[in-house]
C-alpha cells in the first residue's frame, strides 16, 4: 500500500471504527470462541505474493473480530477498563502516521516538551505538589520496575549496576499481601529475589498494610543483617481495591530512610476528583507514584504516568550515554529514554493532550463520578437481594460479591459456575477473584461509554443467571 491508497483506506477505517463502536452493544462482550478456533483458520505459512487489501480486511471482519473480547464495550465490567476515548484513538492515528521514535529530545523536541507539559497537567489534576516531575512509561509494570531498580541502586550506593548483586547483603522490599503481580516481576527482574519481597499482613475494611507490623519487620530485618531498600504501597489493589494508609506508610519510610513507590495504576485516575484524593492522603511525601491514564481515564493503551519527586535518582540508575546518543549543544534538555527501561519511545503524550483538552477535566471527572455512583448503587441492590452478599465494599467503582443461597454446599464452585454462565451469555463480562481464600465475583464499572442502564442490566443478568443456575441444580 502506498500513501495514495492509504488516503481512501484511512477514511474507510474511520467509518469502520465509528460503526464498530455504534454497534458494540449488540456484540457479546467476551469472545465466544474456544482455544485454537482462530489459529485453525490462519494459514500455516506467510504469503510470498502480495495479497489484496480487500482480502485482508475481509479476514479481519470474519476471522479476527469473532475472536476479540471487546474492551470498549459499555458493559465490560471485568478486570479494570482499558478505555480508549475516540479522541485518543484519533491522536493515535496521527501518532501512527507521523511514526516518530521519541527516545531523545532531539529525535522529536515537540514530543519531549509535550510530555513534560502534559505530565505536569496530570500532576496538577491528581493533586500532587509542584516539584514532582512526570514521565510517560509504557505500563505501570515498567514504572514499578524503574522504582525497584532505583530502590536497589540507592540502597547499594549505585554499586548494583556496576558490580552485580553477588556479595551484597539481601536487599528487602516491603509491600502488602494485596499488591499486583507486577511488583513480583519487578523484584525478579531486578535480581532481588521473591524471598526478599516481604509481604506485610493487611487489616481492616480497606485491606491496607499493618504499619506496626511493617515497622517491626524492618527492624527485625536490620537486626538480621538484611538491607531494607524500599516500600511499595498500593492505592486500589487489583483484586478488591485494597488501599494502604499512605501517610502511615510514609511515617515508617521517612523514619527508616526508605524509598517509596505508590502503585495507583487503576485508582489514580479517580484522583482528578478532589473528593477521592483522601484515598491517597500522604502521597505528596512519596518518591515515586504511578497511575495509568490508559485504564480508567480514556487514553488509549499504552499510557502510564510516572511521577518522581527526584528524577535524578532514576536517571542515575538508568541513564547510559554512548556517543551515538549524545545530544551535544542541547544542555538542560530531557532525554526521556533515560527515565525508562526501553530506549525507543512512542509518542504517547499526544493522546493524553488530546484527551484532556477535548473532554476537559470536568468531563472526565463526571464520567468517573458516575461510575462510582452506579457501582455503589449496584452493590447496595445486590446486598438487598436474597442469596447475594457483598464481600468487599466498594472502593471507588470496584466491589466483590458472592452468590450464597442458604444450604448451598460448594459456594466457591457455585460462584465460578455463575461467572462462567454470565460470560457465556455475553451481555456483560465479569471476572472472579479470591478474598481470604474464598472465590468471589468482582465488579467494576469503568467503561468510557457505560451508562446507568448498562449497570442496571448487569443486575438483571446476574440475578437471571443465578436463578437459572439454581433451577438447574434443583432439577439435578
Binding footprint of ligand PLP on the chain (CB under 6 A): 80, 139-141, 180, 182, 234, 237-238, 263, 265-266, 292, 304
Indicate the residue among 385 and 433 with the shorter CB distance to ligand PLP: 433
Q: Nearest approach, Cβ of 142 to ligand PLP (angstroms)?
A: 7
Could you tell me where the DSSP H helices lie in 324-410? 349-383
Q: Nearest approach, Cβ of 265 to ligand PLP (angstroms)?
A: 3
Indicate the residue among 196 and 239 with the shorter CB distance to ligand PLP: 239
Indicate the residue among 342 and 360 with the shorter CB distance to ligand PLP: 342
Cβ proximity of 227 and 171 under 8 Å = yes
Indicate the residue among 160 and 237 with the shorter CB distance to ligand PLP: 237
Indicate the residue among 108 and 182 with the shorter CB distance to ligand PLP: 182
H or E element in which residue 9 lies:
helix 3-22
Q: How far apart are CA 119 and CA 306, in angstroms?
A: 8
CA distances from 138 to 81, 151, 196, 344, 363 (A): 16, 20, 26, 11, 25
CA distances from 19 to 15, 22, 29, 47, 219 (A): 6, 5, 16, 30, 60
Q: What is the DSSP string of 123-170?
A: HHHTTPPTT-EEEEES-HHHHHHHHHHHHHHHHTTT-HHHH-STTSPP
Q: Nearest approach, Cβ of 138 to ligand PLP (angstroms)?
A: 8
Q: How far apart are CA 281 and CA 250, in angstroms?
A: 10
Q: Nearest approach, Cβ of 141 to ligand PLP (angstroms)?
A: 3
Q: Nearest approach, Cβ of 303 to ligand PLP (angstroms)?
A: 9
Cα–Cα nearest to 297, from 54, 84, 61: 84
Q: Nearest approach, Cβ of 94 to ligand PLP (angstroms)?
A: 23
Indicate the residue among 230 and 237 with the shorter CB distance to ligand PLP: 237
Indicate the residue among 80 and 374 with the shorter CB distance to ligand PLP: 80
Helices 349-383, 86-98: inter-axial angle, 10-degree rounding: 150
Taking only Cα atoms into account, the Rg of the chain, rounded to an integer number of angstroms, comes to: 24
Q: Nearest approach, Cβ of 41 to ligand PLP (angstroms)?
A: 29
Give the 3-state secondary structure of 320-343: CCCHHHCCCCCCCCCCHHHHCCCC
Amino acid at each position: 500500500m502506498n500513501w495514495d491508497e492509504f488516503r481512501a483506506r484511512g477514511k474507510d477505517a474511520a467509518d469502520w471504527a465509528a460503526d464498530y463502536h455504534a454497534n458494540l452493544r449488540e456484540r457479546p462482550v467476551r469472545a465466544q470462541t474456544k482455544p485454537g478456533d482462530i489459529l485453525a483458520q490462519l494459514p500455516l505459512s506467510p504469503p510470498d505474493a502480495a495479497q489484496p487489501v480487500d482480502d485482508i480486511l475481509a479476514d479481519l471482519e470474519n476471522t479476527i473480530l469473532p475472536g476479540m473480547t471487546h474492551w470498549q464495550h459499555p458493559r465490560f465490567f471485568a478486570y479494570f477498563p482499558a478505555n480508549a476515548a475516540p479522541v485518543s484513538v484519533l491522536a493515535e492515528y496521527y501518532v501512527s502516521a507521523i511514526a516518530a521514535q521519541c527516545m531523545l529530545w532531539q529525535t522529536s523536541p515537540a514530543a519531549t516538551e509535550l510530555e513534560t507539559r502534559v505530565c505536569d497537567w496530570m500532576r496538577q489534576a491528581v493533586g500532587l505538589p509542584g516539584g514532582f516531575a512526570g514521565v510517560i512509561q509504557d505500563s505501570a509494570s515498567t514504572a514499578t520496575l524503574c522504582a525497584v531498580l532505583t530502590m536497589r541502586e540507592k540502597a547499594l550506593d549505585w554499586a548494583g549496576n556496576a558490580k552485580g548483586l553477588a556479595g551484597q547483603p539481601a536487599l528487602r522490599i516491603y509491600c502488602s499481601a494485596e499488591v499486583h503481580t507486577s511488583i513480583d516481576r519487578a523484584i525478579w527482574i531486578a535480581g532481588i529475589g521473591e524471598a526478599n519481597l516481604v509481604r506485610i499482613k493487611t487489616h481492616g475494611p480497606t485491606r491496607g498494610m499493618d504499619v506496626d507490623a511493617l515497622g517491626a519487620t524492618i527492624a527485625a530485618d536490620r537486626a538480621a543483617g538484611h538491607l531494607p531498600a524500599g516500600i511499595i504501597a498500593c492505592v486500589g489493589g487489583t483484586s478488591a481495591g485494597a488501599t494502604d494508609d499512605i501517610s502511615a506508610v510514609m511515617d515508617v519510610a521517612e523514619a527508616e530512610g526508605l524509598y517509596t513507590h505508590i502503585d495507583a495504576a487503576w485508582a489514580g485516575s479517580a484522583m482528578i476528583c478532589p473528593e477521592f484524593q483522601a484515598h491517597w492522603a500522604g502521597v505528596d511525601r512519596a518518591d515515586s507514584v504511578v497511575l495509568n491514564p490508559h485504564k480508567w481515564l480514556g487514553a488509549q493503551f499504552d499510557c502510564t504516568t510516572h511521577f518522581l519527586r527526584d528524577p535524578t535518582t532514576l536517571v542515575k540508575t538508568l541513564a547510559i550515554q554512548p556517543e551515538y546518543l549524545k545530544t551535544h549543544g542541547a544542555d538542560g534538555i530531557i532525554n526521556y529514554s533515560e527515565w525508562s527501561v526501553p530506549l525507543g519511545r512512542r509518542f504517547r503524550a499526544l493522546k493524553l493532550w488530546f484527551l484532556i483538552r477535548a473532554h476537559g477535566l470536568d468531563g472526565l471527572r463526571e464520567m468517573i463520578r458516575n461510575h462510582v455512583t452506579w457501582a455503589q448503587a449496584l452493590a447496595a441492590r445486590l446486598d438487598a437481594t436474597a442469596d447475594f452478599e457483598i464481600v468487599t465494599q466498594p472502593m471507588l467503582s470496584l466491589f466483590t460479591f458472592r452468590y450464597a443461597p442458604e444450604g448451598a454446599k460448594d459456594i466457591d464452585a457455585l460462584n465460578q459456575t455463575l461467572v462462567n454462565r454470565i460470560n457465556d451469555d455475553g451481555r456483560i463480562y465479569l471476572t472472579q477473584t479470591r478474598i481470604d481464600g474464598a472465590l468471589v465475583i468482582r465488579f467494576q464499572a469503568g467503561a468510557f461509554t457505560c451508562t446507568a442502564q448498562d449497570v442496571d442490566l448487569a443486575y438483571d443478568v446476574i440475578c437471571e443467571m443465578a436463578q437459572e443456575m439454581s433451577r438447574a441444580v434443583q432439577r439435578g
